[in-house]
Amino acid sequence: MKKLLLVSAVGLALSGCGGGSGGGNSDNNGGSVTPPVTEPTVASVTGSIEAVNTDKNSITVNGREFVVGKAMFNNEQVSNFVVSSSLKDMTVQVDTAAVKQTATVTLEPTMTGEISAINHVTKTFTINGVELHFTGLSSEIGLNDWVMVSSLPVAPTAENGNQSYKVLSVIKFDMDGVRVDEIEGQVSNINANENTFKIGAITVSYPHVDNLTNGLWVEVEGTFNTNNKQFVATDVEIESYDNQVGDNEVEGVVTWVSNDKSAFELNNRGTFTVSPSTQFEDGSKQDLKAGGEVEVIYSSKSGQLVALEVEFEKPEWGDDNDDLWEQHEFECSGLVVNYSEHPVGVSATFDIEELSPNENHGVDCHNITINKSNAVFEDGLSFSNLQNKEVEVEGITINGQNVALEVEAWEADD
């Protein structure tokens, strides 16, 4: 993917992040660098910035403090980057594998683009055709400003196209040169005839939709066309948590949990297995609940994400919208037929044939999508050996289309 070099003094041009000021006392204009407070044992930490210290040029993410050596965005280094209090609540990934004195921080906004409508009274604004609400919207941010928006998923509804966002921060950047507009979300409603797919309620135009399947989390780069209300993509990149080496840490919202609590999905982006050795802090395995906010330390083993530690962020462990989350879940059991991989080795579609009448209680168990990168396979099953297997499938429904997140061997009721 072609990436963008931010060429302005970004740290001095930031404004408008929600959540208040950070831990520093003044802007950092140079001087000595203080070593990190902690020596993390994980290779990367992904989450929102909880606090900043401008004196030390440091940020705190998931309870860990890091001195920022350099910042990256779209695979290019951000020129003249310094820590500002307005960075608080922005989503970042910190590469901790080579931390000595400083760390590399990658900016990970959910959206970037120009504000096409804004209302400071209602605290709403529109970016890339998506209207968002943010109670911390700064009066310094206005029409036509180019911003980075960090967010987390919220319970899906029919009105938002099964994809909506809880905005964490909105940060304005003053930049020279060409700006890159981006939007992230789950793929649904692929139309090969029109070369389009959807992210929530937004239609994305892209000439290579044959490389995509429902349920994938993607980062889309392009431009929003105000005439036909479509986001015209120039590049689409599949995002997941399985491309990290070693143990890693990520925070976010639980967006699905299996019935037996043996697996859960985080941020609509990755599915983690819960093993007997998984440790829980401030809660237990039974407290896993869609809508809850957690921090997860995980490792990739045999092609699957294994949760090593789960820490609950809130005592209530949820957003009190259980019914909304559960409306977009499905279960099917029976014989796997018509299993077809496309692209080969990446994703597949299949049908579930009932083994007894009305076994699935009227649930449509045809044309189920499964993505190798974000599905959990139990009982010796794998992505490549599902055809003609008797299975139980659990997953989510995105814009009316079923995406499998866990597959295990079917056991007949006694």
In this structure, which CATH number among 3.90.320, 2.40.50, 2.20.25, 1.20.950 belongs to the domain 181-238?
2.40.50
The percent of residues above 90 in pLDDT, for the chain, comes to: 65
**pLDDT confidence band for 75 (50 / 70 / 90):** confident
Say whether 128 sits in a helix, a strand or coil: coil
Mean pLDDT to the nearest integer, 262-268: 95
Say whether 181 sits in a helix, a strand or coil: strand
- Specify the residue for token string 């009932």: 354
Residue 60 is predicted with a pLDDT of 95
Which bin fits 401, alpha (ψ -120 to 50), beta or left (φ > 0)? beta
**Which CATH superfamily groups domain 328-409?**
Nucleic acid-binding proteins (2.40.50.140)
The answer, yes or no, to whether residue 374 has pLDDT greater than 70, is yes
The pLDDT tens digits of the residues spanning 296-323 come to: 999 998 889 999 999 998 644 445 566 7
Closest CA to 113 of 254, 228, 245, 219: 219
* Spacing of C-alpha 112 from chain mean position: 15
Residue 24 is predicted with a pLDDT of 40
Mean pLDDT to the nearest integer, 381-386: 94
Closest CA to 310 of 255, 252, 355, 365: 252
> Quick check: pTM over 0.85?
yes
Which range among 33-47, 217-231, 331-345 shows the weakest confidence by mean pLDDT?
33-47
CB 330 within 8 A of CB 362: no
Say whether 211 sits in a helix, a strand or coil: helix
Q: List Cβ<8 Å contacts ≥24 apart for 268-271.
A: 268/153, 268/163, 268/185, 268/186, 268/217, 269/217, 269/239, 269/240, 269/241, 269/374, 270/217, 270/240, 270/241, 270/242, 270/305, 270/373, 270/374, 271/305, 271/374, 271/375, 271/376, 271/405, 271/406
Residue 99 is predicted with a pLDDT of 61
Residue 94 is predicted with a pLDDT of 94
Residue 324 is predicted with a pLDDT of 79
Domain 248-323 classification at class level:
mainly beta
Question: What rounded mean pLDDT belongs to the chain?
Answer: 85
Which bin fits 405, alpha (ψ -120 to 50), beta or left (φ > 0)? alpha
- And the tokens for 251? 């925070």
Residue 8 contacts by C-beta under 8 Å, 6 or more apart in sequence? 79, 80, 173, 174, 175, 176
- The CA distance from 169 to 136, in Å, is 8
User: For 162, what's the count of Cα atoms within 13 Å in the CB-facing half-sphere?
Assistant: 22
Say whether 404 sits in a helix, a strand or coil: strand
Query: What are the residue boundaries of the structural domains of the chain, listed by start?
Result: 1-173, 181-238, 248-323, 328-409
| Higher pLDDT, residue 99 or 267 | 267
| Higher pLDDT, residue 81 or 236 | 236
DSSP assignment string, 222-275? EEEETTTTEEEEEEEEE--STT--S-EEEEEEEEEE-TTSSEEEETTTEEEEEE
CB 386 within 8 A of CB 379: no
**pLDDT confidence band for 78 (50 / 70 / 90):** confident
The answer, yes or no, to whether residue 411 has pLDDT greater than 70, is yes
Which range among 9-18, 76-85, 204-213, 328-337 shows the weakest confidence by mean pLDDT?
9-18
Closest CA to 43 of 103, 3, 89: 103
The pLDDT tens digits of the residues spanning 123-155 come to: 999 999 999 999 999 999 999 999 999 999 988
Residue 294 is predicted with a pLDDT of 96
The answer, yes or no, to whether residue 389 has pLDDT greater than 70, is yes
- Specify the residue for token string 């692209």: 343
* Spacing of C-alpha 166 from chain mean position: 12
Same fold, 248-323 and 328-409: yes
The answer, yes or no, to whether residue 37 has pLDDT greater than 50, is no
Closest CA to 23 of 104, 103, 108, 88: 88
Please list the residues that pair with 256 across neighbouring strands: 265
Mean pLDDT to the nearest integer, 157-164: 64
**pLDDT confidence band for 19 (50 / 70 / 90):** very low
